[in-house]
Structure 1
Amino acid sequence: MLELDEIHVYYGNIAAVKGLSLTVYPGEIVTLIGSNGAGKSTTLRAISGLLPVRRGTMTFLGRQLNGVPDHEVVRRGIAHSPEGRRIFPRMTVDENLDMGAFLRKDKEAIAADREMILELFPRLRERLDQKAGTMSGGEQQMLAVGRAMMARPQLLLLDEPSMGLAPVLVDVIFETIVRIREQGTTVLLVEQNALAALDVADRAYVLESGSLKLHGPADELAEDPEIVKAYLGG
């Protein structure tokens, strides 16, 4: 579904991602793990068209993504739930969900997707008329994911969905990620909580200082002594 081939991404003259290659197949949950500054979020921003790729190629469903405007990336089937949630705080929950479907014209399908999202996140149904900025952090995270799902993506990019959440809400978010995949959406997950990410993922890529360090089946990496020591508190 998605292939990155030796991509290089810069902030000014600073290389943030250095020759990264990865592949995501349909129906997978793939996770990127690594310490702060490893290039995980930068990778998602490059895929979304928010940052330019200086060298290397990105393809999605056989079509090149390099240089594609961010709104066109969404139209092609990739949605991004960003780090920090980035919901519209002065708009209601309902209006935020509408924004996720801004490129769509299929009203009946939009209504069906809204209902699916409200079933995934029952708390949002209770708060449809509430200003999004007045909700708890966990509720805002649910809204950020739900808004991205309103685009009906084939590939969902999730950036740090558990950041700042209480443990009970972290469990809810990861259970929901599994349900999203079960409903047919492929997921590329960036997550500081490496243990939780490896528990739900099929495969994982470990980034260090912008470069790929390790990759393989998530269950095998979860038992790798080097990974356990560096990221799992072993």
Structure 2
Amino acid sequence: DIQEGLKRSVRFLDEQHMHVSALIMDRNRQVKMRTCHFFDIWHIGKSMFLDQCSFRECEDLKLWRPAVINHLYWAAASTPDGDPDVMEAKWNCMVNHVQDIHEHGTPAFLSCAHPPLEGEARNKQWLEPANNDYTLSPQHQIFSLEAFHSLILHFAPKHTGFSFLGMYSRLLLAALHFNSNGSREVAQTSDGEVYYAVRYPRLRKGGWVVRPVKEKPSYG
């Protein structure tokens, strides 16, 4: 049982005098914890109705997919105090924005935060007016934890069996490597320009993203 396992983990951390201030999870609604409980934005964005049904039926809406996902991140990240009313108002304003409506009349969020749209920003495929409520984590996400789980496979691939001591040692190596390289600087050219790379994530269904390239990891 996931919830019982989480309770045991939180209880263990309490016994070690480590206070758990917040729990960040995927969109599993079966978990009910007394600890402050948030949903990870990436999982919400991946599974929201826009991916599930609307994009299959509306080609115009499909063009807005990257912007809608980015707006979901922004609605959470721009609300560091986690105020659910403000966060929900920011998220809901996307319905107006895609119709070229930027004044919302909502006390919690009166108008879009972007400057007046001009040029290319104005020349968009606006949608015609047409006839769930999540508590998103405002700051912390579980991306780094998933990156660590992926790194474990580098040291302990699933297709190989290890003894308990062997597996334990490899987990320690993965943790040491991750902690040593988790905050690497962005790579730069000899002229001081930042390196960027274009990535094509499988789950973005053809969408691409531009990300800065980090310096090479060390294995000392």
TM-score (norm 2): 0.27
TM-score (norm 1): 0.26
Structure with more contact order per residue of length (Cα contacts < 8 Å, sep ≥ 6): 1
Structure with greater proportional helix content:
2
> Larger Rg: 1 or 2?
2
